[in-house]
Structure 1
Amino acid sequence: MGKLDGRVVVITGASRGQGEQEARLFAAEGAKVVIADVLDGQGEALAKELGEDVARYVHLDVSQEADWQAAVTLAKEAFGKIDGLVNNAGILRFNELVNTPLEEFQQIIQVNQVGAFLGIRTLAPEIEAAGGGTIVNTASYTALTGMAYVGAYAATKHAILGLTRVAAMELAAKGIRVNAVCPGAVDTPMTNPAALDPASDPEESRAAVAELYKKLVPLGRIGTPEEIAKLALFLTGDDSSYITGQPFVIDGGWLAGVSII
């Protein structure tokens, strides 16, 4: 028996990183998963690997209403219902706030904040119709504090906590629980963009990032996507049945304070 037997969950940004590991873990725990992303090649390959009876891929730009409707149609045609959503898709840009172009700021809002809003608005009625379920929003360590050079990103993640709390209040009577995961540093392409640069040495870049967080994080290391997936699983399954409207920090102790060592 899996923890998600009988569940159908849409996971955004699921072609790689945290979303990929969430899709793998949820499928292993008995869920049918809709892998939604704009990285078509990777998403299609993952769905094929997991198997057509378990997973389907759909192209989804989370900032576009039409794409959300297409995802609903595919999910219901493939699996008959939707009773879970993981709003995982997001983008990160590093820039000093006063030098951040308006276009860049708005792009981050469209993906991170508007994307989460459209996911909630589009799928909540479907989840209610299925008899209730869960929504897990991906916020961030920066949703609860500040961090230099990620002003636009931090602003959207603060907003996601607000959306999470309001949605939890409004949807509780419909049988829908809404929570947020707040990861710190996680070993994914998003937190290490240099690893995607063909001119750079991916392993060298990854090692440099790991060394940085070894000093910053009390547990002495960067987190893994698999660890974030386990928290998303907890918030999607029955083990968290009396929890809603809450942010869950998973950061190796980073938010606890500043080390002088």
Structure 2
Amino acid sequence: MSRQSIFITGAAAGIGQAAARLFAAKGWFVGLYDVDEAGVQTLSRELGEDFTCAGKLDVTDPDAWEHALAEFAARAGRLDVLLNNAGILASGPLESIPLARQHLLIDVNIKGVLNGCYLALPYLQRTPRSRVINLCSASALYGQPSLAVYSATKFAVRGLTEALDLEWSEYGIRVMDVLPLFVATDMVTNMNANSFRKMGAKLTAQDVADTIFKAARYDSKIPKVHWTVGFQTRAFYSLSGAAPDLITRFINSRITGSH
């Protein structure tokens, strides 16, 4: 039996790189894909080119996805986990962020995940008990001011995850998402949001990678779709399901300094 394999987008840095290191250390074959081709090639050499493959991938480009998945499948022989990790962020008042940048958030964070799910399905169907893990965010629990479009994209990822987990259960494919709060990576550098200024980034990329690995190995008959990372996110997640919208809105307004 060939070793288990994972295809990771946004693998050159941050959470994607931490996940790549962890899965490689656990003996998985790891596909490293990113718009930063030099970064993933360097990581591939470090982790071992016999147990990794690496290449450039713009997740907004379906043709690039098809090429990357075919290349990966030829090397790995199977696709156990698709990790849709690639994402971008823009922060600040909605009107202060160029509209083109807002559209790019949608293209990368939503269409990139859709492209991956759609085009990876035939490979996932050929691998028993395969799964998709989508990087989501605690901002998908209640819309966040100064992160409005980013937050909206993560709501979309959450909805897509829930729908596909039900839809693809007939194929034996599980679809999950991981919801961290702010993570200490380059993505939050110079973030312009009151919630970040008040709460800071208490999670590390390794914290998120550890949760991703647990999701990849989860084997209970009881479905677990949403995976929170850290105490703060678990608390917000529990609150979002239990508290009325007015209370949730009030708590978020206090955290973000909005009214």
TM-score calculated relative to the size of structure 1 = 0.83
Superposed CA deviations along residues 151-183 of structure 1, whole A, max 9, x for unmatched, are 110110000001001110111110110110011
Which residue in the other structure is 1:91 paired with?
88
2:199: which partner in 1?
A: 216
**Distance change (3 Å), C-alpha of 1:239 and 1:132:** closer
Alignment of 1:36-115 (within 5 A): 36-115=33-112
| Counterpart in the other structure of 2:247 | none
Per-residue deviation, residues 29-63 of structure 1 (Å, max 9, x unmatched):
12101011011111111011000121111111001
- Structure 2 counterpart of 1:180, from 171, 177, 182: 177
SS in 2 for 1:253: helix
Tell whether 2:12 aligns with 1:15: yes
Answer yes or no: is 1:253 the counterpart of 2:232. yes
The 2-side partners of 1:70 and 1:14 are apart by 17
Question: In terms of mean alpha carbon deviation, does 47-56 or 95-104 score higher?
Answer: 95-104
Which of residues 187, 191, 198 in structure 1 aligns to 2:188?
191
Quick one: distance in 2 between partners of 1:193 and 1:119? 29
Q: Secondary structure at the match of 1:49?
A: helix
- Aligned alpha-carbon RMSD (Å): 2.3
Match of 1:233 among 207, 213, 224: 213
| Corresponding residue number in structure 2 for 1:197 | none
CA distance in 2 between counterparts of 1:247 and 1:159 reads: 14
CA distance in 1 between counterparts of 2:197 and 2:105 reads 28
Q: Deviations over 1:177-232 (max 9, x none)?
A: 011001101110001158xxxxxxxxxxxxxx9xx969527xxx610000000111
**Could you tell me how far apart the structure 2 residues matched to 1:229 and 1:241 are?**
23
| CA deviations over 1:119-159 (Å, ceiling 9, x no partner) | 11111221111223010000101011122211110110000
Instruction: Mark the CA change 1:124 to 1:155 in structure 2 (over 3 Å): closer, same or farther.
Output: same
Q: State the SS of the aligned residue for 2:187.
A: coil
In structure 2, C-alpha distance between the alignment counterparts of 1:54 and 1:34, rounded to whole Å: 9
SS in structure 2 of the partner of residue 190 of structure 1? helix
| CA deviation string 1:73-107 (max 9, x = no partner) | 11112111212101000000113123433211110
> Which residue of structure 2 lines up, in the alignment, with residue 199 of structure 1?
none
CA contact (8 A) 1:141 1:251 kept: no
Matched residue type, 1:148: P
The Cα offsets for residues 216-258 of structure 1, whole Å up to 9 and x where unpaired, read as 27xxx610000000111111114456324x2222244153667
Equivalence for 2:118: 121
Q: Normalising by the residue count of structure 2, what TM-score does the alignment of the two structures yield?
A: 0.84
1:144 paired with 2:141, answer yes
Tell me if structure 1 keeps the 8 A contact 2:143–2:152.
no
CA contact (8 A) 2:14 2:185 kept: yes
Unaligned runs of 5+ in 2: 240-250
Change (3 A) 1:214 1:152: closer
Asked if structure 2 preserves the Cα contact closer than 8 Å seen for 1:13 and 1:36, the reply is yes
- Secondary structure of the structure 1 residue equivalent to 2:132: strand
1:30 maps to 2:27? yes
Amino acid at match of 1:123: A
Alignment size in residue pairs? 236
Task: Return the letter of the residue paired with 1:113.
Answer: I
Return closer, same or farther for 1:248/1:98 CA change in 2, 3 Å cut-off: same
